[in-house]
Structure 1
Amino acid sequence: MSHKPQIRIPATYLRGGTSKGVFFRLQDLPEAAQVPGAARDALLQRVIGSPDPYGKQIDGMGGATSSTSKTVIVSKSTRPDHDVDYLFGQVAIDKAFVDWSGNCGNLSAAVGPFAITGGLVDAARVPRNGVATVRIWQANIDKTIIAHVPMTDGAVQETGDFELDGVTFPAAEVQLEFLDPAAEEDGAGGAMFPTGNLVDDLEVPGVGTLKATMINAGIPTIFVEASAIGHTGTELQDAINSNDKALAMFETIRAHGALRMGLIKSLDGIATRQHTPKVAFVARPADYVASSGKPVKAGDIDLLVRAMSMGKLHHAMMGTAAVAIGTAAAIPGTLVNLAAGGGERQAVRFGHPSGTLRVGAEAMLVDGTWTVTKAIMSRSARVLMEGWVRVPVE
């Protein structure tokens, strides 16, 4: 009886921030998958275990959530003043689809460590002890990320005492700088506020007219007020993800927001953009209990934020959405800024389902237009497994 053999491909399974993904060096992929296209998409889907009508990704490396159905391809960069190129693929769980439309801020923390260990960074730029500065070209959105990676005795330091809510164990801190984070998006002209407004009236059939801040920074994000959609901003995953009506509402908001932002030409186009834009809802600070059982006090945070990812409420906060939060908070008059109390600020600490996170941004008004030079946050990263993934030959 004939059978298909399996090929094996060098790969590393890493945690970056509150996400996990399978990382590849571009040079290690089969030749057909070294270029964008159907062969690459099919390979990554098979690695992750998609499409899976059962929604579990049992026959692959995925973990059946948006935070764990991720792939990364890294290569040496030919761009001046950059060390590596980083390409992120968000693999759909139950559909035959890989979304290349945005970055993953959490996995961005693992790119520098992976690149150093994989020999993709010039050894002369990596200190034996201290902090290595890795200049990353984020190829999905054509932006630069600077990763500050701790080194000990010539190796990437992964363990440490830095704690990140949403991650059980402490690790070494990796500081990330997202330079000029306003996202370049087709149809949006690269504008931070594609509608030209800090707050818009967004008409959403079946929901109403919502105040919305729609921003391209880190990742295109639609912010609405929690109270306007019947929520408080203290919700945990089960309160949203077990409510089909709420999930449908968020997807409708996402589609109409994407249309207003110029990301899609018609509402039908939202089906091809599962990863972007994101929808988040904000509220003034309030006490709540995080998913770990840890109490979060209103006095310890500036605002509450909950965000949707791939159709579900995220268990913590996407790194790219954190960049959007920090950027919007730094600009007086946005819904995020107003929820944080208004005024000028360079950093906020917000509450999310798993706890809290601090993110900073440097914003300035130039000739009547808001610009952000960079957003800064800290994450951590750790190798979980390295070796080869095996994939049946198609």
Structure 2
Amino acid sequence: MAGNDFDPLDEQIAVPCVLMRGGTSKALFFHESAIPPAGAARDAFLKRAMGTPDQLQIDGLGGLRLVTSKVAIISKSTRPGADVDYLFAQIDVERDIVGYDGNCGNISSAVGPFAIDEGLVDATEPVTSVRIYNVNTDKMLVAKVQVVGGKARVLGDCSISGVPGTGAKILMDYAGTVGAKTGKLLPSGQVTDTITLEDGRRIEVTICDVANPCVFFSAESLGLTGSELPAQISGDTALIETIGEIQGKAGQLIGMWPEWRAYHLPGLPLAVMVAPAETFVDVNGETVLDNSMDLRARLVFLGKCHDSMAGTGSMCTAAASRIQGSKVRQAITSSRAAEPTLRIGHPLGVMEVKVVVESDADGDSAMPRFAALGLTRTARRLMAGEVYVPRQHPAD
């Protein structure tokens, strides 16, 4: 109405925000100083910004999927040896949940470019190494980011399955993330454990903790081929409940909670079903040949199958592939088990990750130490501006 001084935006809080793609995921990036402190107020703000809980996330910036409902909270670090501190938050879509249990490898790849572009790290051409302290796991990551004109480079010839086109290569080093959650490569103390389901089935698993803890088991043990796609897996309620039970009991076994029912369909440990290499058809209808991969993998967290392969899940899979007798190693032909790369066939194609064992002096039974454990990603700033959140929400 003419002459009315009332500004409708006064009913909302405007917070600076950057939307970034990192690998095959997207996240809202916030400076820690711009959002509420840790606690209920922060959680309420993040959920409202994303539009959670709502399967359409229609009243927020979320993209209807777990891979597009993520948040990165960044600050300049005061820790020795770190450039920035990075806290990852997984915002559930349908459930009223914010999770801080673990890290996201794909979103981690966007932290370096964000830090450079926001002036949190001095840019050095042609490559700037950004030392990232991940608050979730209390571990250090290193991102090697190409730089031009004082900004993170965007254009390049690096392609990754699940992302159209190409971009500038970002090298992520995860060698320092062994024991991310538990402090141990094999937190149960065993290469394999047997989990007994409530219906009496006995499932052999390997629980490994690198970047994020994962519980690995063969697709065959659940009556699957290993070539199933996300819609088929996520849409099978009984299967998802069974996988959630395996996650819950694996978490109990390694001390994450006292009783496996404590968390229904948990995020961690990530569940990874593995199968030997075999030709399959991916989500886009493309044929993925068996000779292009070393194994097939399908990753499940928070009750849904990942659209591709989580970055942290790929790192843990790579590490487990070098442990003699593990469920991952069993899925790989012996001729490929010592290669410096692991090629993981996932629902959107093949992901290649680097894994180099530093020492195995005592033979195949010894626990490996990793000279290199990393992946190549691309990332890109998609939008910068302000996200608006109504003042009248549970945080107020």
Give TM-score scaled by structure 2 length. 0.91
Q: CA RMSD in A?
A: 1.9
Give the partner amino acid of 1:161. Answer: D
CA–CA distance in 1 between the matches of 2:242 and 2:81?
Answer: 44
Give the partner amino acid of 1:109. Answer: S
CA–CA distance in 2 between the matches of 1:134 and 1:299?
Answer: 35
1:48 counterpart residue number: 50
CA–CA distance in 2 between the matches of 1:369 and 1:381?
Answer: 33
Decide whether the 8 Å contact of 2:110 with 2:380 is kept in 1.
Answer: yes
Decide whether the 8 Å contact of 1:181 with 1:375 is kept in 2.
Answer: no
Decide whether the 8 Å contact of 2:141 with 2:176 is kept in 1.
Answer: no
1:152 counterpart residue number: 148
1:386 counterpart residue number: 384
CA–CA distance in 1 between the matches of 2:371 and 2:48?
Answer: 39
Larger mean Cα displacement after TM superposition, 229-238 or 3-12? 3-12
Q: What's the CA shift for 1:239?
A: 1.8
1:276 aligns to what SS in structure 2? coil
Decide whether the 8 Å contact of 2:245 with 2:260 is kept in 1.
Answer: no
2:353 counterpart residue number: 359
Give the partner amino acid of 2:377. Answer: R
CA deviation digits over 1:330-353, x for unaligned, max 9?
222211112112444432101000
Give the partner amino acid of 1:301. Answer: M
CA–CA distance in 2 between the matches of 1:50 and 1:58?
Answer: 9
* Runs (5+) with no aligned partner, structure 2: 1-5
CA deviation digits over 1:71-101, x for unaligned, max 9?
1100001111211000000012222221111
2:245 aligns to what SS in structure 1? helix
Decide whether the 8 Å contact of 2:323 with 2:367 is kept in 1.
Answer: no
1:193 aligns to what SS in structure 2? coil
1:105 counterpart residue number: 105
1:350 counterpart residue number: 344
Q: Is 1:142 paired with 2:141?
A: no
Q: Taking every aligned residue pair, what percent have the same amino acid on both sides?
A: 34
Q: Is 1:278 paired with 2:267?
A: no
CA–CA distance in 1 between the matches of 2:340 and 2:373?
Answer: 9
* Runs (5+) with no aligned partner, structure 1: none
1:312 counterpart residue number: 304
Q: What's the CA shift for 1:227?
A: 0.8
Larger mean Cα displacement after TM superposition, 238-247 or 68-77? 238-247
CA–CA distance in 2 between the matches of 1:362 and 1:383?
Answer: 31
CA deviation digits over 1:189-221, x for unaligned, max 9?
x11111111111121222611110111111111
Structure 1 residues 214-363: aligned runs within 5 Å:
214-271=207-264, 274-342=266-334, 343-363=337-357
Q: What's the CA shift for 1:366?
A: 7.7
Give the partner amino acid of 1:96. Answer: D
CA–CA distance in 2 between the matches of 1:103 and 1:373?
Answer: 21
Q: Is 1:178 paired with 2:209?
A: no
Larger mean Cα displacement after TM superposition, 135-144 or 145-154? 145-154
**Which one of 13, 16, 22 corresponds to residue 16 of structure 1?**
22
1:36 counterpart residue number: 38
Q: What's the CA shift for 1:374?
A: 4.3
CA–CA distance in 2 between the matches of 1:371 and 1:239?
Answer: 37
Q: What's the CA shift for 1:301?
A: 0.9
Q: What's the CA shift for 1:238?
A: 2.1
CA distance 1:75–1:207, change in 2 (3 Å): farther
CA distance 1:207–1:148, change in 2 (3 Å): farther
Larger mean Cα displacement after TM superposition, 356-365 or 93-102? 356-365
1:56 aligns to what SS in structure 2? coil
User: When the two structures are aligned, how many residues end up with a matched partner?
Assistant: 380
CA deviation digits over 1:246-269, x for unaligned, max 9?
111111111111111221111232
CA distance 1:360–1:58, change in 2 (3 Å): same
